Amino acid sequence: MNNGIVTVTLNPAIDETLDIPDFGVNRVNRVDATVRYPGGKGINVARVLADDPRRPGIAVTGFLGSENDGVFRAMFHDCGIADHFVRVPGRTRHGIKILDRAAGTTTDINYPGLEPTPDECQALLTRIERLADDYPVFVISGSLSPSLPAGYIAEIIELVQKKSGTVIVDTSGEALKVALRCRPDAIKPNIHELAQLLQREITGATEVAAAGQAISAPGMLTAVSMGAEGAVFCHNGQQLLAIPPQVSAVSTVGAGDAMVAAIAAGLLYDDPLEAIMRRATAFGAYSVGHIEQGIHDYTEIQALEAQVEVKNMGSNGA
């Protein structure tokens, strides 16, 4: 078996981040800088993993539009990522992210996604089943295109579980609700997605820990990110808080994906929980401080890891 990780992106995008100081509606805005890159949450996770010095084997799959896949193919080639995407007629959607550093805000404008046919959906399931023979860890990350039922994510999880694979899920809404019924090995909602799932307001680490524990199946790792306040990790009754060091925030785009990459690598290599927490929190903090994709300075990562504060919030006998 390949010692590696597969990321599944069902609704990828070509993302363009526009740096617009003092962005406002109903008036002219001027762009200071722009960055364009192949995106989608699972692809972002793979991009971060490609920079991991332990170099796990990395494969990507999902649906890509055949008419504009060149930017994806180039990135996969440059990063040494195995491309197993199912090509669908048409064009992969675009996504626009408006970054206002002065206000500390990011505004997303997302175009509609591809609409794969039943035959294309089955082709992807067949591809995932084959990949599960060779890769032990799968990350299912991001939204589903509007034409895909939430139950499709359950089909993917069950295929991987039948091959004894480890499954990490980072999604939201009905797809997350469906995924939880399959008891994946790890999930990473943010605090807003957790509140949406439970249909109630959640504030502060104590409430997050209680809610995270409530949705966690035995053995499941639940990591709930809370932005600058850190992340709560629930596992086998433990409730731990990881507090990141202060960084000069440039963009929150991709911070959650960087955390997921660290969690996936940690589970692949069977790292201790605290090591996973520190690395995931450091990856997220690094990403917030940089507009470019990926991890390019592991000296900085090590320094950030050393500054992460881990607090035991107690336990709930699981």
24: helix, strand or coil: coil
Single out the catalytic residue among 51, 69, 185, 257. 257
257 is catalytic: yes
Distance CA 39, CA 187 (A): 20
pLDDT of residue 1: 57
Q: What is the CATH number of domain 4-315?
A: 3.40.1190.20
pLDDT of residue 297: 87
250: helix, strand or coil: coil
Strands 13-19 and 33-39, sheet pairing: antiparallel
Measured CA to CA in angstroms, residue 2 lies from 134, 141, 157 at distances of 5, 21, 19
60: helix, strand or coil: strand
pLDDT of residue 318: 44
Distance CA 186, CA 170 (A): 9
Parts of the chain with a pLDDT under 70: 1-2, 316-318
pLDDT of residue 296: 86
Distance CA 79, CA 48 (A): 10
